[in-house]
């Protein structure tokens, strides 16, 4: 009897011992916009890594691709004194908020594990104010990615096109076979993502930068930019009419064989990679028009100032940890922000790594690498108006873009 009670007691002590880390784990509220299956799988890597160091990652997930909802919610929370502990904040907003003193500096991070020194030249400025980092970059997305249904391509005897003309011919062929050629959404940020990918494929690097960063009226009003708008218009008949849903639903249409391909950031690749093997779906992935240009964006987290210094240091260590970045990137479809992390890449990510580090790396406007929120809003709005008003000519849209960007400069 005694022995039995002893056994019971040991069992309870063992059970309590198991629960102990949970009971003592420190909560970390984390605001982000990762709500699709693959985004949550990637988040699970962070949850696990945090738990191993005694933190309980408590998500505040705000739906809306590209952070359309998340940044508004974050602003509202901060204004009402309810800031999360950490948040996914990307691009120039980091500088704007850092100026107001909201975030922990990452200036001492080099002492933790030297991560700032392991960042590519394009990455560090994106998270820094006057040379001082205020966010921890986790991963680099490639925006000009094309995902497709491999079986369908084989059936139609096609491979990803290398030229615009070849691309259009494929779209016609796919449409004739009764399949929606392009699984694109007409949500404004998704349209503008497609548009900037066409821009990168049509303009040369200096023209692309002159529009996105220089607001150069000569280039915006020029014939090459007109061609970008014309090409964008040319795609409209190949996009399904009911296309207003979140990006992951359109990716899903590819897996189900209802649509052939999607031009999207490589997070769509991660989503399609999650299809059950029983579904007979084979994922095809390439860059748009097989270009070696790399349209990039960088995901990053800020740590709010109310977080204690020792906790902030731990969080910084965790998010910049090479192992965590490698596992997170595999799940998210990205390459790690650190360039010194060995990862077992799929072909598309291996190409992304190579092109980002050696090719033409072009900052994405829509995903906040090229410019500030105001310029981004103008860009998305102009593209959206052009798409929804079929009577608008490319010249009118060019003029609108030039005027609205110029107005920002004169503010």
Q: Which residues bind ligand BGC (CB under 6 A)?
A: 33, 39, 65-67, 141, 265, 267, 297, 299, 367
- The distance of closest approach from Cβ of residue 88 to ligand BGC in the complex, given in angstroms and rounded to an integer, is 7
How far is 86 from 315, CA to CA, in rounded Å? 9
- The distance of closest approach from Cβ of residue 285 to ligand BGC in the complex, given in angstroms and rounded to an integer, is 16
How far is 68 from 73, CA to CA, in rounded Å? 9
Considering only CA atoms, which of 27, 81, 89, 24 is closest in space to residue 315?
27
> Rounded to the nearest 5 degrees, what angle is found at the Cα of 111, between the Cα atoms of 139 and 324?
30
- The distance of closest approach from Cβ of residue 250 to ligand BGC in the complex, given in angstroms and rounded to an integer, is 12
Number of H helices, E strands in the chain: 19, 13
Q: Would you say 137 or 160 has its CB closer to ligand BGC?
A: 137
How far is 99 from 158, CA to CA, in rounded Å? 51
Q: Would you say 116 or 137 has its CB closer to ligand BGC?
A: 137
Q: Would you say 267 or 356 has its CB closer to ligand BGC?
A: 267
Q: Would you say 40 or 58 has its CB closer to ligand BGC?
A: 40
- The distance of closest approach from Cβ of residue 157 to ligand BGC in the complex, given in angstroms and rounded to an integer, is 32
How far is 48 from 94, CA to CA, in rounded Å? 26
- The distance of closest approach from Cβ of residue 130 to ligand BGC in the complex, given in angstroms and rounded to an integer, is 24
- The distance of closest approach from Cβ of residue 192 to ligand BGC in the complex, given in angstroms and rounded to an integer, is 11
Q: Would you say 299 or 314 has its CB closer to ligand BGC?
A: 299
Q: Are 160 and 130 in contact (CB under 8 A)?
A: no
Tokens of 210: 């002159």
Q: How many CA atoms lie within 13 A of 1 on its CB side?
A: 0
Q: Classify 387 as helix, strand or coil.
A: helix
Q: Would you say 220 or 270 has its CB closer to ligand BGC?
A: 270
How far is 284 from 348, CA to CA, in rounded Å? 9
């Amino acid at each position: 009897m005694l022995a039995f009670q002893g056994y019971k007691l040991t069992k309870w002590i063992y059970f309590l011992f198991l629960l102990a880390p949970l009971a003592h784990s420190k909560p970390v509220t984390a605001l982000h916009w990762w709500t699709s299956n693959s985004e949550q799988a990637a988040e699970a890597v962070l949850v696990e890594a945090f738990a191993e160091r005694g933190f309980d990652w408590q998500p505040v997930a705000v739906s809306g691709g590209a952070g359309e909802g998340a940044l508004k919610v974050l602003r509202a929370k901060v204004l009402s004194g309810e800031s999360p502990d950490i948040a996914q904040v990307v691009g120039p907003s980091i500088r704007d908020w850092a100026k107001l003193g909201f975030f922990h500096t990452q200036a001492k991070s080099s002492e933790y594990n030297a991560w700032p020194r392991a960042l590519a030249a394009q990455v560090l400025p994106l998270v820094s104010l006057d040379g001082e980092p205020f966010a921890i970059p986790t991963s680099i997305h490639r925006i000009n990615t094309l995902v497709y249904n491999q079986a369908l391509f084989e059936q139609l005897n096609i491979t990803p096109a290398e030229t615009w003309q070849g691309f259009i011919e494929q779209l016609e062929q796919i449409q004739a076979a009764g399949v929606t050629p392009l699984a694109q959404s007409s949500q404004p940020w998704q349209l503008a993502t497609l548009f900037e990918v066409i821009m990168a494929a049509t303009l040369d690097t200096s023209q692309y930068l002159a529009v996105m960063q220089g607001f150069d009226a000569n280039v915006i009003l020029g014939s090459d930019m007109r061609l970008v708008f014309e090409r964008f218009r040319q795609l409209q008949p190949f996009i399904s009419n009911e296309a207003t849903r979140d990006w992951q639903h359109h990716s899903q249409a590819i897996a189900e064989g209802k649509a052939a391909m999607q031009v999207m950031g490589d997070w769509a690749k991660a989503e399609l990679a999650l299809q059950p093997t029983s579904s007979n779906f084979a994922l095809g992935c390439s860059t748009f028009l097989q270009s070696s240009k790399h349209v990039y964006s960088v995901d990053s987290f800020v740590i709010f100032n109310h977080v204690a210094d020792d906790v902030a240091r731990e969080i910084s260590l965790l998010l910049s940890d090479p192992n965590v970045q490698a596992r997170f990137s595999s799940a998210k479809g990205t390459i790690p922000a650190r360039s010194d992390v060995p990862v077992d890449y799929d072909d598309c990510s291996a190409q992304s790594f190579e092109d980002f580090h050696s090719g033409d790396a072009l900052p994405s406007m829509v995903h906040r690498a090229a410019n500030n929120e105001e310029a981004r809003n103008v860009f998305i709005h102009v593209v959206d108006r052009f798409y929804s008003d079929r009577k608008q000519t490319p010249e009118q849209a060019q003029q609108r873009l030039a005027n609205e960007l110029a107005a920002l400069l004169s503010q």
